[in-house]
A and B are shown apart, each in its own frame.
Chain A
Amino acid sequence: MNIYALTIQNHGENTVWLPSTAPLSGQTDIAFGSVSTSCQIVSSSALNNEIIITKDVAERLRIPFANRIHLFLDEDTIYIGPLIGIFTAGFTKSSIRPIGKRSFFFAKLLSNEKKVGGFAFVFGAHHIHWDKGTVTGYFYTKTGWEQHEIPFPNVIYNRLPNRRTENETMFQEIKQKLKTEYFIPWFNENFFNKWDIYCLLQQHPLARAYLPDTASPPTIEAAQQFLDEYQQIYIKPANGSLGLGIYQLIQRNNSYYCRFRDHQGCNRLQKFPTLSDLWGKLLADKNMELYILQQGIPLIEVNGRKVDFRIHTNKDEHGIWQVSAIAAKIAGKGSVTTHINNGGIVKTVEEVFPKKEEQTKMTERLQHAALTLSRCLEEQLDMMIGEIGFDIGIDQQNNLWLFEANSKPGRSIFKHPKLKQYDELTTVLSLEYAVYLSKQMITAPEALLT
């Protein structure tokens, strides 16, 4: 997509000049976010990838500063921007640290705006002025955080910090209002629920082969049935993240073993004579409605430790799924999962499969699986998603299994020095997808409003 340099000109009035390459067809209005105004629109052969706007028009549109932008056209309006709102919570009163300890995270995200083009800003519920149809957003400029009052954005990228905030009624209402009354598309709307994801993917023929046998809610009878069939099973919270609250149950030589993380964060392995003993001691006080039961997969091992893979997929500027990062996660000793906070370590695929041939083959298979699952999930979900993190395992027969899909994948794999570069790639792709969605909404809204 073409990026233009936007200049705000102090003299002259009510005019916008566009390069003659822009296919004008009698448009009379210019729009920025949710605001539009009529003005004189002039095509100039003297301009090359530059758009000039007079100060009065910029003020009417509430354009905060000159920037690198995209240009979209429909029958009567030219759209500049887009205005990308990043929705979150947890704001502070400090102007140097407006989003608390996540300020640098957002600063990095927003500083990628330069590469992508457009105006990206961070805002929260209390920054919306419904009466005026504006938002006071935080922009990150070369002098630091700046607040500007701007129109409603073209698109909203959801970065609420956790499930608890997201489930609050206030956020649900704001989201609904912006979506249905203002037709602003949201992406990465919700955290995924493991059981919902399983049910959705189970309905898709291309996804089914990757799914371990899963049931919910877990009962002692179902657990015994699963153990008879698979020897080891997992009981996981359907809304869990970071591998917390996961139990691994193993039946061996007429004994039952349970591996889990205790309240102090220590990995424990306990032995029980019967399943009902185990259940009574460890699980009886839990609300099983919120858990799932899953077939255990005998994972491949590296140096005696279990390995699984995190594959990030992102939609790009054309709205097409791409694999943006792959990492191997090696389980900590005695750990239930491969999560980093559980003693797991991150390696690259190259480090795990030193043989070139195996490396290429495994990378291709993992990529293929992640892209297939991304498309399947998108078809089944009635919301827009721009980024997914998949946890995929390989069993000892070389079959691929999907353990989890995360709509807001954690970023700990990017701490590996060789994976660092992909951190930026995923954030750039998220912003590019936001530009793509804005364009779709302007030029082909029927495709989005299903």
Chain B
Amino acid sequence: MNHPHVIAVLTEIFHTESGVHFGSIHEFCQELAYYSQKQQVMLYVTSLPMYLENDRQGYCWIDGKWQQISVPRAHVIYNRIHSRKTEHSCLFEQLVKKVKDEHIPMFNHRFLHKWEVHQLLSNYHYLQPYLPKTELLTTKTILDDFLEQFPVAFIKPIHGSQGRNIFRIEKTETDFRLDYSTFTKDMVQQYSSTCSLFFSLKERIKYPVIIQQGLSLKTVQRRPVDFRLLCHRIHGSQWQVTSAIARIAQEGQFVANIARGGDIVPLSSLLRQFYDKKTASLQKSFLKELALEVANALANEADGLYGEFGIDLALDHDGKPWIIEVNTKPSKQADTSTATQAIRPSAKAIIHYCLSLNKQKKE
């Protein structure tokens, strides 16, 4: 059969007793496969080593399971390699060269870490009001500077995800309190000076981190709230917000990631808890517009092709919106509380963007 549209999904493949498994995007790949079939698109899953060794082999969803078969050449690649290490390997360099030589569009080009994202967005002056002050934490002077300006600061690994390994520093009248996202509340440690605090941080952190202005976020029952807006490219510089949810941090947690036990609610219903109907809808429009501006700015500024961003926004106590961070490999874990067989809008958006890239290539 001659396929006009062939999409390859590049990810980590695990071999288990019950067959191949695609890790955190396993269910999502199935949704991509279902929707591809509806759209007369051929979709297969492969891994970096597998694709480089033989780009005519891949896993296809046939008769209710993933089967390795011969496949045609891919027209578009959806890069969902999750290991940063893999993306820094020679194999990945080979891949970038190969797809460039063969004119195969690949998105997202690669993982963008937190410091890169901040620097790229800083080039857009009009986004400045919504970017919390951020620096690469390299010296004690920077720590001093932040704690002088802000009562609270966060320290985050530049390669971190899912709210892991985040430190929260709070300046009180007498000391500095250090809280850590991976443990519970009673792990708070106290330091009498920024000197001892910096020394302790240096002992514990062996990877590059950013320090970020702490924001006093809006809360529900004293639990901080943030928002995840999933954005997909339609074509050119046109983007859409495919899903918008609010995340409420778990009791005693200062990060709202679901992976850290937070709750998810629809964006609109959460905003209605804060505002009257009209203001809620205004805030929602603005959050969506801001997310689209961020997506467009980042896609313009970063090298390579990007088609999907998970954009984390929040509102502070005064209702001012802030850009918390941008994820280039947004989570695809199915929301277990509302598990359904439906194909998520984000799976459809990915397929549509692949189709638009393929069409563009032909023009």
CA A143 to CA B363, docked complex, whole Å: 43
Query: Is B94 among interface residues, defined by CB-CB distance under 8 A?
Result: no
Chain A residues whose C-beta falls within 8 Å of the C-beta of B130 in the assembled complex: 144
Q: Is the CB of A111 within 8 A of B320?
A: no
> Majority SS of interface residues in chain A?
mixed
> Majority SS of interface residues in chain B?
helix
With both beta carbons as reference points, the residue of chain A lying nearest to B282 in the complex is identified as: A94
- One of B106-114, B121-129, B182-190, B266-274 contacting the partner: B121-129
Task: From the candidates B125, B126, B286, name the one contacting A96 in the complex (CB within 8 A).
Answer: B286
Query: Is A368 among interface residues, defined by CB-CB distance under 8 A?
Result: no
Q: Is the CB of B289 within 8 A of A420?
A: no
Contact A107-B282, Cβ < 8 Å, known A96-B319, A101-B289, A417-B300? no
CA A92 to CA B285, docked complex, whole Å: 13
CA A391 to CA B346, docked complex, whole Å: 38
Query: Is A361 among interface residues, defined by CB-CB distance under 8 A?
Result: no
With both beta carbons as reference points, the residue of chain A lying nearest to B321 in the complex is identified as: A96
Query: Is B304 among interface residues, defined by CB-CB distance under 8 A?
Result: no
Contact A111-B126, Cβ < 8 Å, known A96-B319, A144-B320? yes
Q: Is the CB of B282 within 8 A of A92?
A: yes
CA A86 to CA B283, docked complex, whole Å: 25
Chain A residues whose C-beta falls within 8 Å of the C-beta of B289 in the assembled complex: 97, 101, 103-104
CA A143 to CA B316, docked complex, whole Å: 13
With both beta carbons as reference points, the residue of chain A lying nearest to B360 in the complex is identified as: A345
Query: Is A141 among interface residues, defined by CB-CB distance under 8 A?
Result: yes
CA A96 to CA B283, docked complex, whole Å: 8
Q: Is the CB of B129 within 8 A of A144?
A: yes
Q: Is the CB of B300 within 8 A of A420?
A: yes
Query: Is A142 among interface residues, defined by CB-CB distance under 8 A?
Result: yes
Q: Is the CB of A97 within 8 A of B237?
A: no
Q: Is the CB of A417 within 8 A of B237?
A: yes
Q: Is the CB of A345 within 8 A of B129?
A: no
B118 CB, min distance to chain A CBs, angstroms? 15
Q: Is the CB of B126 within 8 A of A415?
A: no
Q: Is the CB of A415 within 8 A of B237?
A: yes
CA A97 to CA B288, docked complex, whole Å: 12
Query: Is A108 among interface residues, defined by CB-CB distance under 8 A?
Result: yes
CA A141 to CA B130, docked complex, whole Å: 11
- The residues in A between 132 and 176 inclusive whose CB is less than 8 angstroms from any CB of B are 140-144
Chain A residues whose C-beta falls within 8 Å of the C-beta of B321 in the assembled complex: 96
Q: Is the CB of B320 within 8 A of A96?
A: yes
Query: Is A416 among interface residues, defined by CB-CB distance under 8 A?
Result: yes
Chain B residues whose C-beta falls within 8 Å of the C-beta of A108 in the assembled complex: 126
- The residues in A between 96 and 124 inclusive whose CB is less than 8 angstroms from any CB of B are 96-97, 101, 103-104, 107-108, 110-111, 114
How many chain A residues have a CB neighbour from B under 8 Å?
22
Q: Is the CB of A101 within 8 A of B285?
A: yes
Chain B residues whose C-beta falls within 8 Å of the C-beta of A417 in the assembled complex: 236-237, 300
B315 CB, min distance to chain A CBs, angstroms? 10
Chain B residues whose C-beta falls within 8 Å of the C-beta of A107 in the assembled complex: 126
Q: Is the CB of A97 within 8 A of B236?
A: no
- Interface readout for A187-211 with B: 1 if CB under 8 Å, 0 if not? 0000000000000000000000000
Q: Is the CB of A415 within 8 A of B238?
A: yes
B288 CB, min distance to chain A CBs, angstroms? 10
Contact A415-B128, Cβ < 8 Å, known A96-B321, A97-B286? no
CA A257 to CA B283, docked complex, whole Å: 50
Query: Is B293 among interface residues, defined by CB-CB distance under 8 A?
Result: yes
With both beta carbons as reference points, the residue of chain A lying nearest to B289 in the complex is identified as: A104
Q: Is the CB of A94 within 8 A of B286?
A: yes
Chain B residues whose C-beta falls within 8 Å of the C-beta of A104 in the assembled complex: 126, 289-290, 293
Q: Is the CB of B126 within 8 A of A97?
A: no
Q: Is the CB of A416 within 8 A of B126?
A: no
Q: Is the CB of B236 within 8 A of A415?
A: yes
Q: Is the CB of B237 within 8 A of A140?
A: no
Chain B residues whose C-beta falls within 8 Å of the C-beta of A415 in the assembled complex: 236-238
Contact A141-B129, Cβ < 8 Å, known A97-B285, A415-B236? yes
Chain A residues whose C-beta falls within 8 Å of the C-beta of B282 in the assembled complex: 92, 94, 97
- The residues in B between 339 and 363 inclusive whose CB is less than 8 angstroms from any CB of A are 363
CA A94 to CA B278, docked complex, whole Å: 10
Chain A residues whose C-beta falls within 8 Å of the C-beta of B129 in the assembled complex: 140-144
- The residues in B between 258 and 283 inclusive whose CB is less than 8 angstroms from any CB of A are 279, 282-283
A186 CB, min distance to chain B CBs, angstroms? 25
With both beta carbons as reference points, the residue of chain A lying nearest to B237 in the complex is identified as: A415
With both beta carbons as reference points, the residue of chain B lying nearest to A421 in the complex is identified as: B300
CA A104 to CA B285, docked complex, whole Å: 12
CA A142 to CA B130, docked complex, whole Å: 9
- The residues in B between 198 and 228 inclusive whose CB is less than 8 angstroms from any CB of A are none
Chain A residues whose C-beta falls within 8 Å of the C-beta of B237 in the assembled complex: 415, 417, 420
CA A92 to CA B281, docked complex, whole Å: 13
CA A111 to CA B282, docked complex, whole Å: 23
Chain A residues whose C-beta falls within 8 Å of the C-beta of B126 in the assembled complex: 104, 107-108, 110-111, 140
A392 CB, min distance to chain B CBs, angstroms? 23
CA A280 to CA B286, docked complex, whole Å: 47
Instruction: Using A111-B128, A417-B236 as known contacts, list a sample of 18 further A-B pairs with CB atoms less than 8 Å apart, ordered by residue number in A.
Output: A94-B282, A96-B286, A97-B282, A97-B285, A101-B285, A104-B289, A104-B290, A111-B126, A140-B126, A142-B125, A142-B128, A143-B129, A144-B130, A345-B363, A415-B238, A416-B236, A420-B237, A420-B300
Task: List 9 A–B pairs whose Cβ atoms lie within 8 Å, in order of A's numbering.
Answer: A94-B286, A97-B286, A104-B293, A141-B129, A143-B129, A144-B129, A144-B130, A417-B237, A420-B300
Give the B-binding residues of A (Cβ under 8 A).
92, 94, 96-97, 101, 103-104, 107-108, 110-111, 114, 140-144, 345, 415-417, 420
